[in-house]
Chain A
Amino acid sequence: QDMPTLRLSSVVSDNDIRAEAFAKIAESVTDTFDMQVFNGATLVAQGSEMTAIQRGNLEMGLIAPQTIAEQIPEWSIVTSAYLFDDADHLQATFDSDVGGELISLAEEAGVHVLAPVYFGTRHVNLAPEAEVMTPEDLDGITMRMPGGDAWQFLGEAIGANPTPLAYAEVYTALQTGAIDGQDNPLPNDYNMKFYEVTSQIVLTGHLVGFDVLAIGAELWDSFTPEQQETLQTAVDEAIAESTQRHLDREAELVQFFKDEGLEVYEPDRDAFREFAQQKYLESEFAESWPEGMVDRINALTE
C-alpha cells in the first residue's frame, strides 16, 4: 500500500465533462496511483494551483495558461487571440517542437505538462441585438472578461470595452444591463444559462480555450518509466475523449441556442483576426514572445 498519492485540484464543477475525464484517469491508474480528484476549486484556490505544485503541496493541477504566463512570460503567447484555429491546431502545437519549448520552460519552473485540456472556443455573447460583423461593431460594448490584465487585453483585442466581474455575478449583470455581453465557450454559456438573458452569440472564435493538466516535475521524474507510461496513457485517452465530447457538445449547442431564439452567426473572422493580431503585436505582451514563434505556430495549421 505504498502507491503514490496524486491529489488533483481543478476549478471545474463536479458535473463537468472534464470532471468525468479526471474521474476516468483516476479509475484507469488505480493499480498504480491513489489519485484523488478535488473539483470546484475546493482544495486549492483558483489560480494558485501552480505555486501549490511548485511548493510540493499539491501533486496535480488543472492550470490556466494565463496563470503559467504570470511566472513564465513566454507562455502569454498561447493566451493571445486568434493564435490557434481549433482544438486540433492546439494539440498539434503541443505535440510539435514549439510546444516542446513551452513545455520545457514549464519543466524548469517545476511543472511537468501532461496535456493541454481543451474546453471550447470562446465566442462573444451579447444582450443587445445590433449585428456584429467587425471589431468596430463592438466599439462601446461593455464586455465582461475574466479579471487580470491579460484577459482584459483580450477583450480590447477584439474591439470591446472589457470589464472584470466575478463569474457568479455575470448572469445578473447581463439581466440588468450593467454589462452588454461576455465571452465564453458555448458549453459555459449553456451551464451558466447566459442564453436566458442574452439575444445573440457572435461566433468570433477568438480564443481556443484550454487549461494545462500538469504534475510536479520532481515527482514525475521520481516515477519509474512504467508508472509514467501508465499515467500518460490514461491522461491521453481520457483527454482525447473529453476533447471530442466538447467538440460534439459545441456543435449541438449552436442548434440549441438557435432553438432558444438567439441569433447565432459567424462574423467577418478575418477582420477580427487582423485587428487582434495587430493589437497584440503592438502590445507589451508580444515583447516576451519567442522570436518567430507565432509564424511557426501558424505554419502548423497545414
Chain B
Amino acid sequence: MSWEFGVTVAVTVFTAVIGLPIGHAMLASSVFYLLMQGQDMSIAFEQMLTGLYGSYVLLAIPLFIFAADLMNVGSLSDRLLDFCRALVGRFRGGMGHVNVVSSLIFSGMSGSAIADAVGMGRIIINLMTKDGRYPGSYAGAITAASAIIGPIIPPSIPMVLYALVSDTSIGFLFLGGVGPGLVLGVMIMAMNAWQARIHDYPVEDPVPVRDLPRVTLRAVPALLMPVILLVGIYGGVTTPTEAAALAALYAFLVSTLLYRSVSLRMAYETVRQSAKSTAAVGFLIAGALAFNYVVTIEQVPSVIRDALGDTELNRVTFLLIVNAILLGLGCLLEANAILLVIVPIFLPTAVSLGIDPVHFGVIVVVNTMIGLATPPYGLLLFVVTSITKSPIRETIRHLLPFLAIMIAGLAMITFVPEIVLWLPRLYGYNG
C-alpha cells in the first residue's frame, strides 16, 4: 500500500466528516488518488460508469422504491398499518416485530440486502413513523438490522458468489442460511422488545375482536402483495429482480383501479419522488464503485494475505481473525468484491483447519451483510437514513444495540456450526 492510499482514505474521511455528501466524498477522493498517482483521472468516472452499466441486479432498487411509494400514496400502506396495529399494536414494540417478520418473509424474494431495505423497509418505516409513534432513526435502525437477514435466507446472490469461489453446493448453502436467518431474526426481535421498553414506545388500545374481520378485509389487497411476489418468483413467472416491477405494477393497479385513490397528478408526483430517492441511493453505490478501484489497485487483499501468511493459527483464532478482517473490510469494499477476492484467500486455511465450507460460507455472508450496516461506511445505514431523513448520528445510536446483538449472533453461528448445518444435513449433506 502506498502513502497516496493513506492520504486518499484520510481525504475521504475528512470531507465526509465535514459534511460533503458521501457519494461525492468517495468519488472525489478517488479522482484525487489518481491525480496524486499521476494516472488518468477519468478512471474513477470510468469505474463508476462501467460499474453502473453492468449492475443489472441493482435495477430492483428503483422499482422497489417506486412500489413502496405507490403503496403509500395509494392507501395500501394505511390499510396495512390498521391491520398490523389491530394485530400487534397492544404489544410494546409491536411494529418493530412486524418489521422483522416482514423482512423474514420478503427475504425469500430478494437476494440483496439493499433491495430489501428499500423495498419492504421503506413501507414499514412509513408505517412505524406515521403519527410519530417511533422516531425515524429507530425505524431506520431496525430496518437496516433486519435487512441484513435478506441475503442470509435464500435466495441469495452473495451465496451464489461464494459457491462459485468455494466449490460448495448452492442448494446446501441456501439451506444452511435458513437456521442462522431465523436465529438472527429472533435475536433482533428480542432486542426490539427490550429497546421498546427502554424507550417506552407507545402501545395502542386493543382493537375489539369484532372489528378484526373488517380491518383484515380492508387490508387484503395489501396482504396479497407478498403472496403475489412469492408466487411470481417461485412460480417461475419472474426473476427476483423483475419481481420488483411486478410489485410496482400491482400497487399501481390496486390504487388506481380498485381504490381510485391515485390521480394522474399523484402518480407523476410519486414517480418524481421515487426517482429522487433512487438517485440518492444509487449515487452512494456509484461512489463506492469508484473507490473500489483504489482499494483494488492498492492490492489490499494481498497485503492481508501476506500478513496472515506466516502466522500459526488454530481454528478459534482463525475464525476470530477472519471475522474481524471481514467486518473491517466491510467499511471499504463492496460485498461482492469481498466474496470474490477475499474468500479465496481464507478458504484453503479454513478447510485445512477442518472448518466446513458451507458453515464457513454462511459465516462469511453473514459477516459481509453486517458490514453493510456498520458505520462509518455502511450502505444500508445510508439507505435507511435517506428514507427516514433522520440524522445519521441518531440512527447509529439506535443501531448500535442491534449491531451488538448481530455480532453476538455471528459469534453463535461461528462457534455452533449445527445452527448452519442441521438443515443441510437433514437433506443429505454429509459435512
Q: Which 3 A-B pairs have the closest CB atoms?
A: A177-B236, A40-B340, A45-B50
A173 proximal to B (CB < 8 A): yes
Whether B341 and A14, one on each chain, are in contact in the complex, defined by CB atoms closer than 8 angstroms, is yes
Whether A169 and B340, one on each chain, are in contact in the complex, defined by CB atoms closer than 8 angstroms, is no
A36 proximal to B (CB < 8 A): yes
A218 proximal to B (CB < 8 A): no
Give the bracket for the number of chain A residues in contact with chain B. 35 or more
Whether A36 and B170, one on each chain, are in contact in the complex, defined by CB atoms closer than 8 angstroms, is no
A14, A39, A44, A191: the one within 8 Å of B167 (CB): A191
Whether A42 and B344, one on each chain, are in contact in the complex, defined by CB atoms closer than 8 angstroms, is no
**Interface residues of B, dominant DSSP:** helix
B336-353 interface with A by 8 A CB criterion: 337, 340-341, 344
A50-93 interface with B by 8 A CB criterion: 52, 55-57
* Chain B proximity of A219: nearest CB distance (Å): 15
CA distance A86 to B171 in the complex (A): 33
Given the contacts A14-B165, A176-B236, A196-B171, A52 and B337 also touching, CB distance less than 8 Å: no
Interface residues of A (CB under 8 A from B): 7, 13-15, 36, 38-40, 42-48, 52, 55-57, 147, 165-166, 168-169, 171-173, 176-178, 191-193, 196-197
* Chain A proximity of B208: nearest CB distance (Å): 42
Q: Identify the closest chain A residue to B50 (Cβ).
A: A45
Given the contacts A42-B292, A45-B47, A172 and B337 also touching, CB distance less than 8 Å: no
Q: List 6 A-B contacts (CB under 8 A).
A: A39-B341, A42-B340, A166-B57, A168-B161, A193-B169, A193-B170
Q: Identify the closest chain A residue to B243 (Cβ).
A: A178
Whether A38 and B296, one on each chain, are in contact in the complex, defined by CB atoms closer than 8 angstroms, is yes
Given the contacts A55-B40, A166-B56, A191-B167, A40 and B337 also touching, CB distance less than 8 Å: yes
Q: Identify the closest chain B residue to A197 (Cβ).
A: B171
B51 proximal to A (CB < 8 A): yes
Whether A57 and B167, one on each chain, are in contact in the complex, defined by CB atoms closer than 8 angstroms, is no
CA distance A34 to B171 in the complex (A): 41
**Interface residues of A, dominant DSSP:** loop
Whether A193 and B163, one on each chain, are in contact in the complex, defined by CB atoms closer than 8 angstroms, is yes
CA distance A151 to B164 in the complex (A): 22
Given the contacts A193-B169, A196-B170, A13 and B163 also touching, CB distance less than 8 Å: no
Contacts A57-B39, A57-B40, A192-B160 supplied; 13 other A-B pairs, CB < 8 Å: A36-B299, A39-B340, A166-B56, A166-B57, A168-B111, A168-B157, A171-B170, A172-B154, A172-B160, A178-B238, A192-B164, A193-B163, A196-B169
Given the contacts A166-B57, A178-B239, A15 and B40 also touching, CB distance less than 8 Å: no
Interface size on B, residues (CB 8 A): 44
* Chain B proximity of A115: nearest CB distance (Å): 24
B320 proximal to A (CB < 8 A): no
* Chain A proximity of B10: nearest CB distance (Å): 23
Contacts of B39 in A (CB 8 A): 57
Given the contacts A178-B238, A178-B239, A191-B164, A13 and B299 also touching, CB distance less than 8 Å: no
Contacts of A42 in B (CB 8 A): 292, 296, 337, 340-341
* Chain A proximity of B158: nearest CB distance (Å): 9
Given the contacts A45-B50, A169-B57, A57 and B111 also touching, CB distance less than 8 Å: no
Contacts of A7 in B (CB 8 A): 297
Whether B239 and A172, one on each chain, are in contact in the complex, defined by CB atoms closer than 8 angstroms, is yes
Whether B165 and A15, one on each chain, are in contact in the complex, defined by CB atoms closer than 8 angstroms, is yes
Q: Identify the closest chain B residue to A188 (Cβ).
A: B164
Whether B54 and A46, one on each chain, are in contact in the complex, defined by CB atoms closer than 8 angstroms, is yes
Contacts of A166 in B (CB 8 A): 56-57, 241
Whether A168 and B337, one on each chain, are in contact in the complex, defined by CB atoms closer than 8 angstroms, is no
Contacts of B43 in A (CB 8 A): 57
* Chain B proximity of A149: nearest CB distance (Å): 16
B155, B169, B293, B340: the one within 8 Å of A14 (CB): B340
B259 proximal to A (CB < 8 A): no
* Chain B proximity of A108: nearest CB distance (Å): 22
CA distance A57 to B165 in the complex (A): 28
* Chain A proximity of B51: nearest CB distance (Å): 5
A13, A43, A45, A192: the one within 8 Å of B297 (CB): A43
B233 proximal to A (CB < 8 A): yes
B235 proximal to A (CB < 8 A): yes
